[in-house]
Structure 1
Amino acid sequence: MTQKQSVTAALLVIGDEILSGRTKDQNIGFTAEFLTKIGIDLAEVRVVPDIQKEIVAALNALRVRYDYVFTTGGIGPTHDDITADAVAAALGLELIEDPRAIALLLEIIKPENLNEARRRMARIPRGADLIENPISKAPGFWIQNVIVMAGVPSIMQAMLNAVAPKLSTGAPMIAETIVAGNVPEGTYAADLARLASDHSQLSIGSYPHVVDGKFHNQIVVRGKDAELVGQVVEKVRAMITRLSAG
Structure 2
Amino acid sequence: MSTSVSACILVIGNEVLSGRTKDANLSYLAGELNTLGIQVREARVIPDDETVIIDTVNFARQNFDYVFTTGGIGPTHDDITAASIAKAFGLEFGHNPEAVAMLQSHYKPEDLNEARLRMAKTPKGAILIENPISKAPGFQVENVFVLAGVPKIAQAMFENLKGRLTGGATVLSATVTTDLTEGVIAKELGLIQDQFDDVEIGSYPYFKEGQFGVSLVLRSVDQMRVESCQTTVKEMIEKLGGKLIFSS
Post-superposition shift, 1:245? 5.8
What does 1:148-163 correspond to in 2, within 5 Å?
148-163=146-161
Kindly provide the amino acid, as one letter, of the partner of residue 163 in structure 1.
L
Q: TM-score, normalised by structure 1?
A: 0.96
3-state SS of paired residue (2:52): helix
Counterpart for residue 67 of structure 1: 65
Cα distance per residue 1:79-136 (max 9 Å; x no partner): 0001111100000111120010011111221122211111100001111110010100
3-state SS of paired residue (2:117): helix
CA distance in structure 1 between the partners assigned to 2:35 and 2:241 by the alignment: 34
Cα distance per residue 1:54-99 (max 9 Å; x no partner): 1001111111110000000000000000111110000011112001
Post-superposition shift, 1:160? 0.9
Is the contact made by 2:7 and 2:65 (CA closer than 8 Å) also made in structure 1? yes
| Uncovered stretches (5+) of structure 2, i.e. residues with no partner | 244-248
Q: Please report the RMSD computed on the Cα atoms of aligned residues, expressed in angstroms.
A: 1.2
CA distance in structure 2 between the partners assigned to 1:44 and 1:108 by the alignment: 36
- Out of 215, 218, 224, the residue aligned to residue 215 of structure 2 is 218
> Within the alignment, does 1:229 sit opposite 2:226 as a pair?
yes
C-alpha change, 1:206 and 1:245, in structure 2 (3 Å) is: closer
Cα distance per residue 1:18-41 (max 9 Å; x no partner): 000000111111111111122110
Is the contact made by 2:180 and 2:242 (CA closer than 8 Å) also made in structure 1? no
What does 1:40-189 correspond to in 2, within 5 Å?
40-180=38-178, 182-189=179-186
What does 1:20-59 correspond to in 2, within 5 Å?
20-59=18-57
C-alpha change, 1:18 and 1:227, in structure 2 (3 Å) is: same
CA distance in structure 2 between the partners assigned to 1:117 and 1:30 by the alignment: 29
Aligned length: 243
Q: Mean Cα displacement is larger for which, 17-26 or 190-199?
A: 190-199
Post-superposition shift, 1:14? 0.4
CA distance in structure 1 between the partners assigned to 2:196 and 2:62 by the alignment: 28
Is the contact made by 2:73 and 2:79 (CA closer than 8 Å) also made in structure 1? yes
Kindly provide the amino acid, as one letter, of the partner of residue 168 in structure 2.
G
Q: TM-score, normalised by structure 2?
A: 0.95
CA distance in structure 1 between the partners assigned to 2:183 and 2:198 by the alignment: 24
Is the contact made by 2:71 and 2:147 (CA closer than 8 Å) also made in structure 1? yes
> Within the alignment, does 1:194 sit opposite 2:191 as a pair?
yes
| Uncovered stretches (5+) of structure 1, i.e. residues with no partner | none
Counterpart for residue 246 of structure 2: none
C-alpha change, 1:50 and 1:245, in structure 2 (3 Å) is: closer
User: What is the percentage of aligned positions where both structures have the same residue?
Assistant: 47
> Within the alignment, does 1:207 sit opposite 2:179 as a pair?
no
Post-superposition shift, 1:233? 0.9
Post-superposition shift, 1:201? 1.8
Cα distance per residue 1:141-197 (max 9 Å; x no partner): 0110000000000000011111111101010000000122x1111111111111112
CA distance in structure 1 between the partners assigned to 2:70 and 2:10 by the alignment: 7
3-state SS of paired residue (1:186): helix
3-state SS of paired residue (1:215): strand
Post-superposition shift, 1:198? 2.4
CA distance in structure 2 between the partners assigned to 1:245 and 1:73 by the alignment: 46
CA distance in structure 1 between the partners assigned to 2:242 and 2:196 by the alignment: 25
Counterpart for residue 10 of structure 2: 12
